[in-house]
A and B are shown apart, each in its own frame.
Chain A
């Protein structure tokens, strides 16, 4: 009896497998399984963004005979310190491919690379020094090892010359470095004389990111902002209001800005105060308690953990901002190079103020 029941249940199990196989076969024929390699690439953790053949342009047209303007792009509502209205009329704002001749010949450009795109991602804070937090990150293409990257300034840089991932334009590829620029008329009160133009050629912002997360103790949004901006030529000039005659061009060649606002130890804090003013603060690093760091400043006479903390804070290059200009020139005069390096923000507090109140 018992052997019969075993046989029966084996038979039943085989039959069941047979039924399952019959049911499952049509489905297996239509869907194809993913390999381990394919599975590892897909986790849906982040969203990659690439702009292909991108071109942007907007501005303000001169008034026609009836005083009508076809296009207007204006930023207003700002007040000067003496209470006059400041009105910025943007004559032209553009993002274009390389060789735009200061925005005159716009062409398309790619922004971000398929293999290193712009990203919106929720990052595990433990991997970036923000313990036990999910961090929202908006990032530009990351910088890469110098062996495989491209020189950040060179218009004809080849692979293995620098740390930028975005490539310059070549004869048969539009590249990933954009010409960007803004031409604007800044009016203070009735004075519309200031016409300022800023252009950056072949600009790269690789390695820039904005990270946002919440601070439990302060119950506040905090963040970290890194802006890398490289351009072989940033130029500034001023023109007559109708744009006909322009003054000498101020040229900053090989311009590199690496700005670090906030870090994991001193995040940027965003708030609006009781009178309705926007406040951005970078908190000061905590002071060591008495005796925590020895009088001679050596590790042997200090609390080792605290000493390591401050040593890491003062030596970490990621916390520091740099600005370098290869050559500064006005018309045919060269002023040489300028460099601000290793700037560490100890404490920063920026607050908007309404002058009309």
Chain B
């Protein structure tokens, strides 16, 4: 008796599922695999950017930081990382300036031709990052240094500046960067 009730119960569930799903199928026509394969990711991202880092010296202003017009003080962001548990710190210091670009694109692209015959063998999708042709640097500075403490405000701070790089003007950067997973188990 209980079993029959159980079977009847399942029958109802099936009937309910069938009726509830049929209106949806009637309104939307499903795409076949062929039709789907014609739909490519036409959408992409087009980015223009203007990035300023610490142009005015940053939020902290004390005896060490925060004034770009004072040569005795540091101005700009600082990134420090350690290579050994008890060792000193590698530092990317004094990062500041402004860079802007127009037309950085991002899209998914299927490669199956070109590249001197490699494209045909490859025949896969890649993530394509279209470089913006020119990037305008406006007084971009950074400094590679090594220091014994993470912060210049820590006691006993010593730092050796290895070199400083300064860039201004339009940097030509043309082409596409293609990114894809590679098999190497």
B-binding residues in A (CB < 8 A): 4-5, 8, 11-12, 15-16, 18-19, 22-23, 26, 29-30, 32, 40-58, 61, 69-78, 106, 108, 110, 113-115, 117, 119, 121, 123, 167, 170, 173, 175, 218-221, 270-278, 352-354, 357
User: Are B118 and A114 in contact, CB atoms less than 8 angstroms apart?
Assistant: yes
A22-B14, A49-B179, A70-B169 known; A272-B148 Cβ under 8 A: yes
Instruction: Assign chain B's interface to a size class.
Output: 35 or more
- For residue A306, give the distance in angstroms from its CB to the closest CB of chain B: 30
Which chain A residue lies CB-closest to B130?
A: A52
The CA-CA distance from A53 to B10 in the complex, in Å, is: 62
User: Are A75 and B165 in contact, CB atoms less than 8 angstroms apart?
Assistant: yes
User: Are B84 and A271 in contact, CB atoms less than 8 angstroms apart?
Assistant: yes
Which chain B residue lies CB-closest to A109?
A: B175
Q: Which residues of B168-182 have CB atoms within 8 Å of chain A's CB atoms? A: 168-182
* B33 is an interface residue with CB less than 8 A from chain A: yes
The CA-CA distance from A207 to B110 in the complex, in Å, is: 28
Which chain B residue lies CB-closest to A61?
A: B169
The CA-CA distance from A281 to B83 in the complex, in Å, is: 13
Which chain B residue lies CB-closest to A274?
A: B148
Additional 14 contacts, C-beta under 8 A, given A70-B170, A271-B87, A274-B158: A8-B3, A15-B7, A19-B13, A49-B179, A50-B178, A52-B178, A55-B175, A115-B122, A219-B84, A221-B83, A276-B146, A276-B159, A277-B146, A352-B160
User: Are B163 and A52 in contact, CB atoms less than 8 angstroms apart?
Assistant: no
Binary contact track B1-32/A, C-beta < 8 Å → 1, others 0: 00110110011011001100100000000100
Partner of B146, one of A70, A77, A352: A352
Residues from chain B with a CB closer than 8 A to the CB of A273 are 87-88, 148
User: Are B182 and A72 in contact, CB atoms less than 8 angstroms apart?
Assistant: no
User: Are B176 and A5 in contact, CB atoms less than 8 angstroms apart?
Assistant: no
Partner of B14, one of A15, A47, A110, A219: A15
Which chain B residue lies CB-closest to A76?
A: B164
Partner of B182, one of A70, A121, A219: A121
- For residue B75, give the distance in angstroms from its CB to the closest CB of chain A: 15
* B60 is an interface residue with CB less than 8 A from chain A: no
Residues from chain B with a CB closer than 8 A to the CB of A30 are 30, 36
Which chain A residue lies CB-closest to B161?
A: A77
The CA-CA distance from A54 to B74 in the complex, in Å, is: 36
- For residue B4, give the distance in angstroms from its CB to the closest CB of chain A: 8
* B111 is an interface residue with CB less than 8 A from chain A: yes
User: Are A40 and B163 in contact, CB atoms less than 8 angstroms apart?
Assistant: no
Which chain A residue lies CB-closest to B90?
A: A272
Residues from chain A with a CB closer than 8 A to the CB of B86 are 219
Residues from chain B with a CB closer than 8 A to the CB of A41 are 183
User: Can you identify 28 A-B contacts, CB atoms within 8 angstroms?
Assistant: A19-B17, A42-B181, A43-B181, A45-B184, A47-B179, A49-B177, A52-B178, A54-B174, A55-B172, A56-B174, A69-B169, A72-B166, A75-B163, A76-B166, A77-B161, A108-B175, A110-B115, A113-B115, A113-B118, A117-B182, A119-B182, A175-B116, A221-B84, A272-B147, A276-B159, A277-B88, A278-B90, A353-B160
Partner of B162, one of A58, A77, A173: A77
The CA-CA distance from A76 to B165 in the complex, in Å, is: 6
User: Are B184 and A46 in contact, CB atoms less than 8 angstroms apart?
Assistant: yes
Which chain B residue lies CB-closest to A169?
A: B116
- For residue A81, give the distance in angstroms from its CB to the closest CB of chain B: 15
Residues from chain B with a CB closer than 8 A to the CB of A23 are 17
The CA-CA distance from A276 to B90 in the complex, in Å, is: 9
* B47 is an interface residue with CB less than 8 A from chain A: no
Q: Which residues of B40-87 have CB atoms within 8 Å of chain A's CB atoms? A: 82-87
Q: Which residues of B125-170 have CB atoms within 8 Å of chain A's CB atoms? A: 126, 131, 143, 145-148, 158-170
- For residue B124, give the distance in angstroms from its CB to the closest CB of chain A: 8
Residues from chain B with a CB closer than 8 A to the CB of A77 are 143, 161-164
User: Are B176 and A52 in contact, CB atoms less than 8 angstroms apart?
Assistant: yes
A16-B10, A19-B14, A121-B182 known; A74-B175 Cβ under 8 A: no
A114-B115, A272-B88 known; A76-B174 Cβ under 8 A: no
Which chain A residue lies CB-closest to B156?
A: A274
User: Are A220 and B166 in contact, CB atoms less than 8 angstroms apart?
Assistant: no
The CA-CA distance from A40 to B185 in the complex, in Å, is: 9
Partner of B30, one of A26, A58, A272: A26
The CA-CA distance from A4 to B6 in the complex, in Å, is: 13
- For residue B48, give the distance in angstroms from its CB to the closest CB of chain A: 20
* B99 is an interface residue with CB less than 8 A from chain A: no
The CA-CA distance from A40 to B111 in the complex, in Å, is: 19
A50-B178, A352-B160 known; A11-B7 Cβ under 8 A: yes
The CA-CA distance from A276 to B167 in the complex, in Å, is: 26
A29-B30, A51-B177 known; A276-B158 Cβ under 8 A: yes
- For residue B32, give the distance in angstroms from its CB to the closest CB of chain A: 9
Residues from chain A with a CB closer than 8 A to the CB of B14 are 15, 18-19, 22
Partner of B163, one of A50, A73, A78: A78
- For residue B83, give the distance in angstroms from its CB to the closest CB of chain A: 4
